Amino acid sequence: MNLSNNEKYNSKTVFVRRHGRSLNTERTEALGELLPLLEINHDLITINADINPIDLFDKKNKEIWMEIGFGNGEHVKAMLERHPDHGYIAVEPFVNGMAAFFKSIKDTDLKNVRVWMDDAVDVVKSLQDASLDGMYILNSDPWPKTKHHKRRIVRPETLNHYSRVLKDNALLIMSTDVDELAEWMAISSQNHPDFEWCAEKSDDWKTMPDDWFQTRYEIKGIKAGRKQSYLYFIRKCR
């Protein structure tokens, strides 16, 4: 069975609003099996800053991180493998990416993750103040047209929300292979009063960190001649 636009999966009246190619049987089954188990309850998304992310998980985690726009979930899976004592809130609005991620973890014990398949900012607005240990925004949509810059996931108003939910000294880690977007994110974050750039020299943000995990998307871009930028910002103490 393939999942096409406006079709329901797993015999449930659940409709996904952001589609790509139709899903194959394996991905459809993984989506139907794991989404009900790992998705954040929609009733909790109140945008009233009242969710303690600790309560989203079955066990207490040493740290809780969030990744916004995880693509096919390669980075989330790698972090779950590296840090099994951490909890991850992973957001991806596209059903194809979510299904690919679920397929990759279906037969593993890497279930210490909660997902959201819609607007990430709604989740952020629902989290309590100073409740996250870190945040990843990796290779986000550049929205290159000027009239679409208001849709970028990193902009002054969204940085206000990120700074509110990040703990003191928590990291906001961003990457992109689009030079103009790298400049946009760097300037926007540097100009925000709550964030401090960790770079000490210009090469710091052009050089891959030692513990960096490369996704297939990033490797493909580098092979095509695109240069990746790595932007680390720290949330200043309140």
Active centre residues (catalytic): 141
Q: In the CATH hierarchy, which fold is given to the domain comprising 25-235?
A: Rossmann fold (3.40.50)
- Token pair listed for 110: 């890497």
Alpha-carbon gap, residue 220 to 226, rounded angstroms: 9
Q: In what order do the strands lie in the sheet with 113-116?
A: 113-116, 86-91, 63-68, 132-138, 166-176, 229-235, 195-197
Q: pTM to 2 decimals? A: 0.90
Of the candidates 157, 154, 187, the residue with the CA atom closest to the CA atom of residue 172: 154
Residue 88, Ramachandran bin (φ over 0: left; ψ between -120 and 50: alpha; else beta): beta
pLDDT at 21: 63
Residue 32 or 9, more confident: 32
Alpha-carbon gap, residue 58 to 16, rounded angstroms: 26
pLDDT at 110: 79
pLDDT at 234: 98
pLDDT in tens, 120-167: 999 999 999 999 999 999 999 999 999 999 999 999 999 999 999 999
Average pLDDT over residues 169-182: 97
Alpha-carbon gap, residue 189 to 186, rounded angstroms: 5
Asked which of 11-15, 78-82, 207-211, 231-235 is least confident by mean pLDDT, the reply is 11-15
Residue extents of the structural domains in the chain = 25-235
Per-residue b or e along 93-128, where b marks 16 or more CB atoms closer than 10 Å to that residue's CB: bbbbbbbbbbbbbbeeebebbbbbbbebbebbbbbb
Of the candidates 154, 166, 215, the residue with the CA atom closest to the CA atom of residue 63: 166
